[in-house]
Amino acid sequence: MRIDIAACTDRNFVMPTGVMMQSVCVNNPDVDIMFHVICDDNITSKDRSDLGSHGVCPPVS
C-alpha cells in the first residue's frame, strides 16, 4: 500500500512540517509513504535539507 501526502509550508512551519512527516513514518512503518511538500519562496536551502533529512521514511521491506 502507498500513501501520498501533500503539505504546504513556509519558513515559519518547517520544523512542524518535519515533525509531522517523521510522526507519519514512525507510526506507519509498513506503509510506503510519499511526501509532496510545496514551499514558498522564503524557504532556504538549509530548510529544504532539514526537511529531507528529518522527514524521510526508511524503505518498506
pLDDT the model gives residue 59: 64
pLDDT the model gives residue 13: 93
Rg (CA), the chain: 12
pLDDT the model gives residue 52: 77
Taking only the tens place, the pLDDT of each residue in 5-60 is 999 999 999 999 999 999 999 999 999 999 999 998 999 988 888 887 655 666 66
pLDDT the model gives residue 50: 82
Closest by alpha carbon to 56, among 31, 34, 41, 28? Answer: 34
